[in-house]
Amino acid sequence: MKIVVLDGYALNPGDLSWDGLADLGDLTVHEHSTADQVIERAAGAEVLLTNKCPVGAEQIAQLPDLRYIGVLATGFNIVDVEAARSRDIPVVNVPTYGTSSVAQMVFAHILHLTQNVGHHATTVSEGRWAANRDFCYWDTSQVELENLVLGIIGFGRIGRRVSELALAFGMSVVTATRDGRAPDATGIRNVDLDELFSLSDIISLHCPLTPQTEGIVSAQRLSLMKSTAFLVNTSRGPLIDEGALLSALNDGRIAGAGLDVLAIEPPKANHPLYGAKNCFITPHIAWATGAARTRLLDTVVDNVRAFAAGTPQNVVN
């Protein structure tokens, strides 16, 4: 069985092993590929694995040996699943590897926004504490999380894990579920979406990107937020109207934002949000802990093994 990985570098820049996949067939790993390289590089492959390199209907039609497409991630919008289905090719993803790591990044952003540890550590290293008249100083408001309201949009595995961490900090949690049912947990209640924006001290996004959720954080909804509230996004960039967020931040209509994703990745060098007031952007790394990437790669191997055994798992089409 010939196995080709189109763009393996993000998952494994060298600290993990591809041996598990190599044990299952003749393995070729490319660190990066472009869409116009797919047909040449995947020629003869029965198993094709991709992370962000698109595999569309045109490529699928020209790969007669292809029997399986695996995504090295949870999102699978880079594959034409209908074209694969028409060929009886399963498209397989990895649905649960990053729950704990993404939830941890949510609170990394929340704690940074509320206490600015990095900034204050920098001022100490620059000598400011040593020269200070008083025994302490702070440049930004120090915000306690206990009794604050965390609004979670998207209450799947990651959203639920974030809620558990929030409750441990003594926060209360509101959600806006599609079916209107309250989650089965003490300290969590369901509200409508606009009410979530107006009630929350911090909002964290965890919903998939669909036509219904694209731009869900709009200018109108940002106008409902408290001026002291923060927005955190570790899900998908296009959930936010970035122009509206830029205005809300610079006009002081919300207090700050922590973003691990943007609408276009990688972004342009002059992205407007780089200079936005109290906006902190990390380069889509919530998923990238060693533990999460190890789980991801282990599941990729399990997925291919299950397919080879005739019992494919995690099929999305």
Residues 6+ apart with CB under 8 A from 144: 114
Burial of 103 (0-12, 13-18, 19+ CB in 10 A): buried
The Cα 223–Cα 244 span in angstroms is: 10
Three-point CA angle 174, 259, 56, nearest 5° = 100
Q: How far apart are the first and last CA of the chain?
A: 22
Burial of 154 (0-12, 13-18, 19+ CB in 10 A): buried
The Cα 159–Cα 98 span in angstroms is: 12
Residues with a known catalytic role: 236, 265, 284
Which amino acid is present at 293?
R
CA nearest to 4, candidates 53, 54, 44, 63: 44
The Cα 32–Cα 42 span in angstroms is: 13
Is the separation of the CB atoms in 4 and 30 below 8 Å? Answer: yes
The neighbour count for residue 308, using CB atoms within 10 Å, is 17
Tokens, residue 35 = 């869409």
CA nearest to 231, candidates 216, 251, 211, 217: 217
